[in-house]
Structure formats: C-alpha cells, structure tokens
Amino acid sequence: MVLAVSSLAVAFDEPLVLLTLAAITLATAALFGAGVIGALTRMRRLLGVFAAMGVIQSVFTRGGQALVEIGGITLLSTTGLERGASIILRILIIVVSASIMSTSNPRDIVQGLSQWKIPYELSFMVAVAIRFLPLLREEAEDTLVALQLRGVRLEQMRLGRKLSMYRRLLTPLIAGVLSRAENMSISVEMRGFRAFRCRTSHRHLKFGARDYTLVFATALSVVAVLFWRL
Amino acid sequence: MIVAFDVDYRYPDGTDAVSGASVRISPGEILAILGHNGSGKTTLGKLLSGILKPTSGRVEIDGTDTRRMSLGRIGERVGYLFQDPGRQLFTSSVEEEVRFALDIQGIAEDRIRHRTEHMLDTFNLLDLRKSFPFDLSRGEKQRLALAAVMINEPDFLILDEPTTGLDVRRKSELSRLLIRTGDTGVGMMIISHDEEFARGHAHTVMEMDRGVLRRA
Ligand SMILES: Nc1ncnc2c1ncn2[C@@H]1O[C@H](COP(=O)(O)OP(=O)(O)OP(=O)(O)O)[C@@H](O)[C@H]1O
Ligand SMILES: [Mg+2]
C-alpha cells in the first residue's frame, strides 16, 4: 500500500491527484497510529526550501500567469506555484508513508514479506534499512554540528554554497553505512544466517479485517487514479 | 570561563539525561568527568559546548548564554571532540581535514600551510596526509579529529573519551600534548572511562551518576 501510493506520487504531478493521494496516506497513517504529527512538525522547517523551489520553478519555467513581477522577470507564476505545491505534497506523501512503515516492528515486516514468498535475504535487507534510518539521521546531525563548529556559517551562506556544504554530509554517511554493512554481514553469517535456504519461524502473521479493507481500498484507488489520468 | 548554572536536559523522547548540573571550566584548568555508560556524560559535554541548549538553567561561555550563540561563533572558542570521531570528519583527505577550519576563514595560503604542517607533525599524521579519513584506524581518526579542532586554537577543549582507541604510546603523547595545551591557558573538560588517565591529569574530578553530577 505504502509502496503503491508513493510510486503513484512520483509518477504523477498534477496537484489534484497528489492532494488526493496525500489525503489517503494521512488517513491510513491515522488508522495505524503512526507519529504523523511529529513527522509534520519536522517538515515545517523545510517549508522555506519549498517556497524557494516555487520561486525557482517560476523563474525558469514559462507558462502560467505571472503573479509577482520585477523588472520584466517573473518571480512567481501560477505554474511555478503549482509545481512548488506538487513538490511539497510529494515529499509529504513520502514522509508520511515512511512513518507508517516505522509503526510495524522490523521483525513483523520481515515475517510479512517472507510469507509472501519473498526470499528472506531480501526481506531482511528491507528491515535493516528501516531499522537504521533513525541512526543515520543522528549521525548526519552530528556531522552538521561538527561542520558548523569548524566555522561554517550556514545561516549566512548563499544557497549554492550551502548545498555544497550539505553535500559534505554524504561522505561520512556513506562511509558509515558501508562499514556498518560490512560488520553486520560478518556478524549475521557467523550466527548462521543463510546457512539454510528456508528459515523456520516461530511467528506467524495473519491478515486481519483491517488489513483486507486496506488492501482492497488501495487497489481501488490505484485503479481509480490510473483511469482518471490515462 | 564556561559556567553551567543548575542545568537540566531532557531529550525530545522524554529521557532525562542531565539534572541540576552546576560546574565551571576555568582557563588552564583540567576537569575530568567519570561515570558509567548512559550516565549523561556526553550530554553534559554537548551542553557545556553549546551544541545542546539546556531545557532549564543556563550555560555561559565567557559570559554569553549559549542560547544566543551560533555554532560557528562557539566553534571559534570551544573545540569539541565527538565520542565517535568518524562523525566529525567530512573531507576527502587528512590534510584537507586539518586545514578546513582555516580555509573557511579565508586565511592566507602560506600561513595555512605553516599551521597545517605544524598540526600534522604534532599529531603524527605527516605520513597519512593523502589518506582518506574514513580508511584510518580509530586511533588515527581520533588524532585527526583533534588536529582539525585544535588548529583553530580554541580557548576551551571538551573531549569526549579522547583515549578510546589509542595505544599506550599515543596515550602518553596525548597526555603530554594536553598538559602543554593546558599550560597555555586552555580550559579543558575530559570525559573518560579511563580513571587512571583522568585522575592523572585533572585538577578536579567529577562523577556523573544517572544524570546527577557530583564531586568524586
Ligand atoms: N539522542 C538521544 N535521544 C534520546 N535519548 C538519548 C539520546 N542520546 C542519549 N540519550 C539517553 O540519555 C542518557 C545519557 O546518554 P549519554 O550519551 O549522555 O551517556 P554517556 O554517559 O555519554 O554514555 P557512554 O559512556 O555510553 O558514552 C542515556 O540514557 C541515553 O540513552
Ligand atoms: Mg558518551
């Protein structure tokens, strides 16, 4: 479900479709008691960036009516506004989807995927990815602090330079992920992971009424959206 | 002088990591903080260096409330060594890492060169200058992170577990360096599990126990 909605979100860019999708995602999140509010407040800080994107889109794409103009250069147009809004909605959908995913414990996700006959190596990978996201955020935050302590004044920098500073966060992040992945693969193999092709499992997950409804609703809305736009 | 007045800190998830801590770091003084895992040492270090702002109480660096200082301004006065030094390295070579703080300030090239060489030499990093920081061993990363922070000549140093990953020889080299640095009037806080190391250097030893700081 989460995957379906997020892929639709990437595939379509009309604001109306996105708005509908956003509504669906929010409803699901509420149903499963995900920490939406927390996710949203975190997003608030990004609003400035989105506003900037709206302006940039307006300046560089023609079309639509000009809303704000200075010296013949369109600063804000309806197209730009529309695109800006699409970006916000899209990211909203992805963020909320992610918070839905994180309500299930990783063990359940592995089990669920395995019961769908997906090889357990793969489902294990998904679970590990979900488990490590918060850790990655923490690491990136520390690196950002370290950058600033060495005299990088992000608040006074122009966008281009700021972005190139943010790009520096990637190196430690990727290096950290790689070394962790290496250690983990050694440690799981030593505990007998992949020694046999199938794994027996003590846990068994059942589809509840809520899950059936959800799958059905998702299928329905995917079909509806596809018909509506194609 | 860095002074904490009755500082509490609670993480967003509700964990009370520090309660009612009052402490000062004076110029030229070495303060050691001991304590078990999870007792709040790192949190205290981040509070005193202004990285975290207290939930209640206040921290002042030379009389200015850390809430009113940007991280950039704090970095000019306080050098902070992260518990995991890998998180504070972000360039593509050892040399670039060491000179980064000076490059950012736009200092003249020959001066940067001079200072960088001096730092590389002090921390035994000359042979590693072209290496990729993330390929270094833990002890080497530690030395690199210290060099990168100390090139800014901060007035205070807050070191979170500086001896982890150092062998006996590097540890005694670090000892000598810290003593020399202290003699130039730099105030230091050393967070450590290594009681012997901490007691060997500190003028004051304090202990953290479940968020409460007391004199040991
Ligand atoms: N980002 C965070 N969010 C929530 N709780 C945290 C966070 N960081 C630390 N804590 C909690 O705060 C308490 C103090 O942590 P802190 O890292 O300051 O301990 P420490 O004394 O440095 O431990 P160690 O010796 O393992 O480094 C612990 O209970 C820890 O679980
Ligand atoms: Mg710690």
Question: How confident is the model over A5-35, as pLDDT tens digits?
Answer: 545 544 455 555 666 666 666 666 665 555 5
Chain B residues bordering chain A (beta-carbon distance below 8 Å) = 49, 51, 70-72, 74-76, 78-80, 82, 84, 86-92, 100-101, 104-105, 134, 148-149, 152
Q: N- to C-terminal Cα distance for chain A?
A: 21
According to DSSP, the β-strands at B187-191 and B16-25 are: unpaired
Closest residue (by CA) to atom 31 of ligand 1?
Answer: B38
According to DSSP, the β-strands at B56-61 and B64-65 are: antiparallel
Residue A21 one-letter amino acid: L
Task: Say if ligand 1 is within 6 A of residue B164 CB.
Answer: no
Closest residue (by CA) to atom 1 of ligand 1?
Answer: B11
In terms of Cβ atoms closer than 10 Å to its own Cβ (0-12, 13-18, 19+), residue A16 is exposed
Chain A residues inside the 8 Å CB shell of B76: 151
Cβ–Cβ gap A151/B74 under 8 Å: no
User: Cβ contacts of residue A175 below 8 Å, gap of 6+?
Assistant: B86, B134
Nearest to A150 among B49, B75, B87 (CB): B75
User: pLDDT value at position A67?
Assistant: 54
Once rounded to an integer, what is the mean pLDDT over residues A186-209?
A: 65
Encode chain B (216 residues) as per-residue pLDDT tens digits.
999 999 999 998 889 999 999 999 999 999 999 999 999 999 999 999 999 999 999 999 999 999 999 898 898 899 999 999 988 999 989 999 999 999 988 889 999 999 999 999 988 899 999 999 988 988 899 999 999 999 989 999 999 999 887 888 888 888 888 888 888 899 999 999 888 888 888 999 999 999 999 987
Task: Say if ligand 1 is within 6 A of residue B40 CB.
Answer: yes
| Domain limits, chain A | 1-103, 104-199
User: pLDDT value at position B105?
Assistant: 87
Cβ–Cβ gap A142/B87 under 8 Å: yes
Q: Which residues, listed in sequence order, are joined to residue B191 by a DSSP beta bridge?
A: B33, B160
Maximum Cα interatomic distance, chain A, rounded to a whole number of Å: 71
Task: Say if ligand 1 is within 6 A of residue B210 CB.
Answer: no
A67 membership: H or E segment, kind and range = strand A66-70
CA of A121 to the centre of ligand 1 (A): 32
pLDDT value at A197 more than 90: no
What whole-number distance in Å separates Cα of residue A59 and Cα of residue A69? 10
Helix crossing, A15-31 with A78-101: angle to 10°? 20
A116 membership: H or E segment, kind and range = none
* pTM, 2 dp: 0.69
User: Cβ contacts of residue A204 below 8 Å, gap of 6+?
Assistant: A111, A115
Residue B64 region, left (φ>0) first, then alpha (ψ -120 to 50), else beta?
A: beta
User: pLDDT value at position B189?
Assistant: 96
ipTM: 0.88
Helix crossing, A120-149 with A106-115: angle to 10°? 150
Closest residue (by CA) to atom 2 of ligand 1?
Answer: B11
Nearest atom within ligand 1 for CA of residue B13: 4
Separation in Å, CA A217 to CA A5, A28, A34, A96, B171: 11, 10, 19, 18, 63
User: pLDDT value at position B65?
Assistant: 95
- Shortest Cα–Cα distance, B22 to chain A (Å): 24
**CA angle, residues B69, B73, B74, in degrees to nearest 5:** 75
Candidate of B10, B18, B33, B41 to mutate for ligand 1, largest count of ligand atoms within 8 Å of Cβ: B41
